[in-house]
Amino acid sequence: MLKMTRLEKVYRTHLIETHALRSIDIHVREGEFVAVTGPSGSGKTTFLNIAGLLETLTGGQYMLDGVDASKLDDNARSRLRNEKIGFIFQSFNLIPDLNIFDNIDVPLRYRRMSAAERKGRIDGALARVGLASRMKHYPSELSGGQQQRVAIARALAGSPRLLLADEPTGNLDSLMARGVMELLEEINRQGTTIIMVTHDPELAARAQRNIHIMDGQVTDLDEQPRLRASTPLQDKNTHVA
């Protein structure tokens, strides 16, 4: 699904040169759930931005689902990103003046889908995250956990092959975080490849594989996927908002 070979990212000004990523080699297989860990400033966000085709690389090669993304121009990268990738952010990034249905509808409109197709995708995505009955509510009427579920639904509505999550539980309490993590695990079991940046060791342990980044380099890479922990994160009778 994703293969980076000797990938480099350098930020340059007329006074300074900053090496954000140094000779990164990462291979994520289709259907994996990978957690990316590391201290603040280590290069995790830069890695995620390049993986999501939001930034260009300085050197090396980036293959995404068989396409050499390192050779694409801006328009081609945008098309590939819209077709293949979904994003989940720590801050939810919902538009406060739009209800939940319209929040999910906005990115679909850019793909020039018909109204009927957009509605079908939105209905299906909200059903998957358990919020079908809330589609006319506004973000301020939802809990933090529910808002993150809307953000996940927005990503799922685009039918991504690859889901990139940047600290998706960072603004949630532990109970809501566990509920969101279980939802991501279910999405992964249904076939979506997920790469998640997290500072939470408990959540990282739930992933099939961990990649650790330090000072722009991969310092600890589990080559063999491991089985997920069998112990559930919460009691089945616990309700997560």
Residue 112 exposed, middle or buried by CB count within 10 Å (0-12, 13-18, 19+): exposed
pLDDT at residue 225, rounded to an integer:
54
pLDDT at 56 over 60: yes
Q: pLDDT band at 201, cuts 50/70/90? A: confident
Q: How many CB atoms lie within 10 A of CB 186?
A: 12
What pLDDT was estimated at residue 100?
95
Q: Domains of the chain: which residue ranges?
A: 2-220
In angstroms and rounded to an integer, the radius of gyration of the C-alpha atoms of the chain is 18
Please report which confidence band the pLDDT of residue 63 belongs to, taking 50, 70 and 90 as the band edges.
very high
Q: Residue 223: what pLDDT? A: 60
Could you give the CA distance from residue 6 to residue 29 in angstroms, rounded to a whole number?
18
What is the pLDDT at residue 131?
92
Name the CATH topology of 2-220.
Answer: Rossmann fold (3.40.50)
Task: Please give the single-letter amino acid code of residue 136.
Answer: K
Residues 86, 156: contact at Cβ < 8 Å? yes
Separation between Cα atoms, residue 126 and residue 141, nearest integer Å: 16
How would residue 197 be classed by pLDDT, with cut points 50, 70 and 90? Answer: very high
Closest CA to 84 of 28, 11, 9: 28
Mean per-residue pLDDT of the chain: 87
The residue among 47, 7, 29, 3 whose CA lies nearest residue 212 is: 47
- Mean pLDDT score, 184-190: 91
What does residue 223 show for φ and ψ, rounded to 5 degrees?
A: -80, -30
- Tell me the mean pLDDT in the region 10-39: 91
- For 129-156, the pLDDT digits (tens) are 999 999 999 999 999 889 988 999 999 9
Tokens matching residue 57: 């690389």
In this prediction, residue 113 carries a pLDDT of 86
What pLDDT was estimated at residue 86? 92
Per-residue pLDDT, averaged over 154-173, amounts to: 89
* pLDDT for residue 193 is more than 90: yes
| DSSP characters over 170-237 | TTS-HHHHHHHHHHHHHHHHTT-EEEEE-S-HHHHHHSSEEEEEETTEEEEE--S--PPPSS-SS-TT
Strand (E) or helix (H) holding 165: strand 162-166
% of residues, the chain, pLDDT over 70: 91
Q: Is the pLDDT of residue 30 over 80?
A: yes
pLDDT in tens, 90-109: 888 899 999 999 999 998 88
Find out whether 212 and 184 touch, Cβ atoms under 8 Å. Answer: no
Predicted confidence (pLDDT) per residue in 206-240, tens digit: 899 999 999 899 887 766 555 554 334 444 333 44
Selected residue with higher pLDDT from 176 and 3? 3
pTM for this predicted structure: 0.83
Whole-angstrom Cα distance, residue 78 to residue 73?
Answer: 9
